[in-house]
A and B are shown apart, each in its own frame.
Chain A
Amino acid sequence: MIQRTLYDKLVDSHTVRKLDEAGNEVLLYIDRTVLNEYTSPQAFSGLREAGRKVFRPQAALGVVDHVNSTRPAIRKAQSLENRDRQISYFGENCRDFDIELFDLLHPNQGIEHVVMTELGLVLPGMVFAAGDSHTTTYGAFGSLGFGIGTSDIEHYLATQTLAYTRLRTMLITVNGPLSVGNTAKDIIMAVIRRIGADGATGFAIEFAGSTIRQLSMEGRMTICNMAVECGARGAIVAPDDRTFEYLSALPRSPSGSLWDTAVSNWQTLSSDPGAPFDKTVEIDAADIEPMVTWGTSPDQAIPVTQAIPALDSFQGAEERNHAERALAYMGLRPGMHMTSIRIDWAFIGSCTNARLEDLRSASSVLKGRKVADGVRAIVVPGSSEVSRQAEAEGIARIFMDAGFEWRQSGCSMCLAMNDDIVPAGERCASSTNRNFEGRQGFNSRTHLMSPAMVAAAAVCGHICDIRDMEPGSAY
């Protein structure tokens, strides 16, 4: 028998039929999608113009998250008065096409990927395609998730399928215990630095190894989420007991005898021993240190203990130009120590790092401390549910006592499509996933890092090494 990877199994089990002889291109059945207000409107307009129906409305969920304000008063007005065209058209589309909608006042509203995973709508063995690149998050559950554009959203809605080209496969193994101060965010940032921003373009990644196995589901989600920043369109962790235990507590997970049937199916979801991967990468967890970006691409990252590399250290003219340009944009110079860089903003949020575990880890740094003078600090929980839990646990209080603004859920300053914008020339320590030029606002400067590192930077007023801070005591 041919040894197959988990990725191959997921694609094979969802192949309606081949579209070419080799089976490289297939008509792929998609289990489910999540829609947002900014990438879906033209897809619905397309359906309306062609007089087409949604193939399986119950396999879609609509969530408002990208453009809404996270300030309670503005948000309420935005919802009640439908002042935003994208939000009101989205509501109209979900109603007309009979799709479940979490609007701004819905108790389950939140960032789409956080909402999907906390409800139990993402189960092992499924295939997801959605109009957002971070759909890769769902791979943490042993499923295949990938981002698509608006034309493909329309294609999915009308047909429940996509014409799909098989990817090559990459196995990334991370082994060994993670040392104190390091998180899943640091692992994925180290991976991206190692293989480059296009290192996995054309690939689906499977993450394996003892370090990955020891991670919580939240940590695995962070890793799969950010795998798209090295180009992967699919990032998978085979499901295990930790996955099943996590799922068993979620509101829409199957229960009773269906649960048992499901688990026995899910237990078969792993790559066959010796299955061939097109590429393999091995990482020793002992080499990982807390990571920070210095440039405008997620692979322009270094351990926080280091200085910005000299221009001569870059291979080739193009890499060097890229670095030079990035440093000019960021207002930094080679040789500067990362810990000497002062910040104006601290942002904890996004589908990468705004789940309860992330807020817990940041709040443990903030307990008994204050945000430094001159730093504006904001925390935007990943979902309304995360927000409620954090309030119940007393975490919200810790953030507010430290001087953070406690907001309502949404994408917010991760892409700055709402009113949360880093002003030109100002610098933000951010728990998000993209440090692109202008990502957090025109001429804004972003440094990506883990939520705990953002909290530490907020307290210090400059980027600092989390390991230099005692947990929970005055700095």
Chain B
Amino acid sequence: MHIEPFIRKSGIIAALPSANIDTDVIMPKTFLKGIDRSGLKKGVFHDFRFDADGSPRPGFVLNKAPWNKAEFLVTGANFGCGSSREHAVWGLRQIGISAIIAPSFAGIFYDNCAKNGLLAITLPADKTAALVETARKGKPVTIDLLARVITAPDFSFDFDIPERRRQMLLSGLDAIGATLEMRRDIEAFQARYLEERPWLAWSER
């Protein structure tokens, strides 16, 4: 799959500061009926964005200018908890979100982000709080993955990110292709592993 690399981007940041925003909320089940990745824009935060009758809720941040054009999100802790559904990440990418900053992310969601060119940045709560303020003022920020710096009008923060993940995002790397280059290692491992555990093959069909 082709992934757009993330090197350096600037844009509006929207704040969703609640903790434990789960993937059922990010992408409700009604939108999970497809067999491809497309068509998920409408589903993102659907029950926050729309009333029961389908009209937009004017109070929700992503329905208001300038945040309706947000490129980044700053959220509360444990963002993306719950269901493993990658549809949550696909949908966020489809509405134009390319980075999310939070005090912590749920593990599956965090891994899903990297696979889709969505930069997930973990920062301590006092720093995310400062970004929430910037977001509320509608000011833009710049995220530089090469330099690992987030720059807002009033401050800038360095951030850490695992190096392999950074390289993947910078290059838009095909993860499966990279692993298949280690095919010989995998085959050798598997042969030895299964030989040492003969009962495993027994339970296979």
Contact = CB atoms under 8 A, between A and B. Distances in A.
Interface in B60-93: 76-78, 81-86, 89
A231 B78 contact: yes
Interface string B190-205: 1001000111101111
Interface in B165-205: 175-176, 179-180, 182-183, 185-186, 189-190, 193, 197-200, 202-205
A415 to B, nearest CB: 6
B163 to A, nearest CB: 7
B22 A20 contact: no
Contact of A148 (B111, B116, B182): B111
B203 to A, nearest CB: 4
Given A197-B78, A436-B22, A436-B82, A27 B186 contact: yes
Interface stretch (B6-14, B28-36, B134-142): B28-36
A106 to B, nearest CB: 13
A49 B1 CA distance: 9
A158 B180 contact: yes
A253 interface: yes
Contacts of A306: none
A59 B18 contact: no
A201 B35 contact: no
20 contacts: A16-B189, A20-B163, A38-B32, A42-B36, A49-B1, A120-B203, A133-B82, A151-B175, A155-B175, A163-B164, A201-B106, A254-B202, A255-B202, A262-B199, A318-B76, A319-B19, A417-B29, A436-B24, A437-B47, A443-B47
Interface string B137-157: 000000000000000000000
B37 to A, nearest CB: 5
Interface residues of A, number: 83
Nearest to B164: A25
Interface string A387-404: 000000000000000000
A46 interface: yes
A66 B82 CA distance: 15
B135 to A, nearest CB: 15
Contacts of B19: 197-198, 318-319, 322
A149 interface: yes
Contacts of A443: 47, 52
Nearest to A15: B189
B153 to A, nearest CB: 25
B176 to A, nearest CB: 5
A388 B153 CA distance: 65
B35 A89 contact: yes
Query: What 6 A-B pairs are tightest by C-beta distance, nearest first?
Result: A198-B78, A151-B115, A149-B86, A149-B112, A254-B199, A41-B35
Given A20-B163, A123-B200, A437 B25 contact: yes
B1 A46 contact: yes
A29 interface: yes
Nearest to A203: B107
Given A52-B176, A149-B108, A27 B115 contact: no
Nearest to A55: B186
B162 interface: yes
B20 interface: yes
B179 A442 contact: no
B83 A133 contact: yes
Contacts of A161: 179, 186
A322 B18 contact: yes
Interface string A139-169: 0000000111111101100111101010100
B179 A159 contact: yes
B162 A25 contact: yes
Interface string A245-274: 000000011110011011001000000000
A325 interface: yes
Given A149-B115, A254-B199, 6 more contacts: A16-B186, A29-B190, A123-B199, A161-B186, A254-B202, A436-B25
B18 A325 contact: yes
Contacts of A297: 20, 22
